[in-house]
Structure 1
Amino acid sequence: MTDDSDDTDDPLAGVEPGFEYESTREVGEIEPQTVADGVEVAATPEIIGAMEQTVYDGVVPNLPAGHRIVGVRVECDHRAPTPAGEEIRVRIEVEEVDAERGQITSSATVEDEDGVAATGRMRHAVVNREAFAERVRERVDGEFENANAE
């Protein structure tokens, strides 16, 4: 999925296994899940989103200009409910860097006031922003043309 049309031979050269990053955020603001009258918790998609955003925030500053990461695979074990409005701490660690495939694999731990709320593992591909955007434009244009042909 990488695009090597620029001068960057290995856009993942600045990311190594063992790299760690942490973020803190309040949950339940996006779309809390109501489990009983007056009881709301952070829904699993929000927990996954927090893990994904933490990987993005930690890794992208270590990539060459014009590059970003996109999700390829996500595994999540949502172990305990976190009340809406509570703060979570998300810690990620890069486990593997596959320069040949242009991908990284990271693990994540999400903790709230009571301990571990979720764990996960994610794989991301590094892409050249402009080349990736062009692929999306081509797909959208192709779908638009196919819809008009019908």
Structure 2
Amino acid sequence: MELPEFAPGMNARVELTVTDADTAQALGSGDVPVLGTPRVLALAEAATVACTARQMPGGVTTVGTRAEVEHRAPTPVGRHVTALATLAKVDGRKLLFEVVVRDGETLVAEVRVERVILDRQRFIQKALGSLGEA
């Protein structure tokens, strides 16, 4: 597998208008009607995927291997949040991203995401193969 060339500084943005389905109540991560931390993480990961998607060659993908979330401010239903992912470091097949999630000027969360570049088909075969071993 030939590794794609990714340069630190690449970035991508994804946006979300918070709905009832995105709340801690709906996600089972709490009992308050605000943007749930699991949804913040999913949004951050979507931004990291978008960051590399344009330059990802066929047959190659990335998977998340580590994440650290600092959820700093509550976001009620109806608010619009933006996640900006920036590729901070490339270490062989490992990509390290810094993601900032904002509601306007309010810092909602800071997320660090580690993704690894791999052969998509081999990964799927390994995952499906492990189902037979269970």
- TM-score, length-scaled by structure 2: 0.89
One-letter identity of the residue aligned with 1:108: V
- Residues 53-72 of structure 1 show CA distances to partners (whole Å, capped at 9, x for unaligned) of 11112212211111111001
Query: 2:16 maps to what in 1?
Result: 25
Aligned to 1:95: 88
Match of 1:123 among 106, 114, 124: 114
% identity of equivalent residues = 23
Instruction: Show CA shifts across 1:38-88 (max 9, x none).
Output: x72010000011000111122122111111110010001000000122110
RMSD: 1.7
Give distance in 2, aligned partners of 1:40 and 1:29.
7
Instruction: Give the match for residue 38 of structure 2.
Output: 45
Partner-residue secondary structure (3-state), 1:30: helix
Q: TM-score, normalised by structure 1?
A: 0.80
Cα shift at 1:114: 5.0
- Unmatched 5+ stretches in structure 2: none
Decide which of 125, 128, 131 is 1:137's aligned counterpart.
128
Secondary structure of 2:7 counterpart: coil
For the pair shown, the structure with the greater C-alpha radius of gyration is 1
TM-superposed CA distance for 1:21, in Å, is 1.1
Aligned length: 130
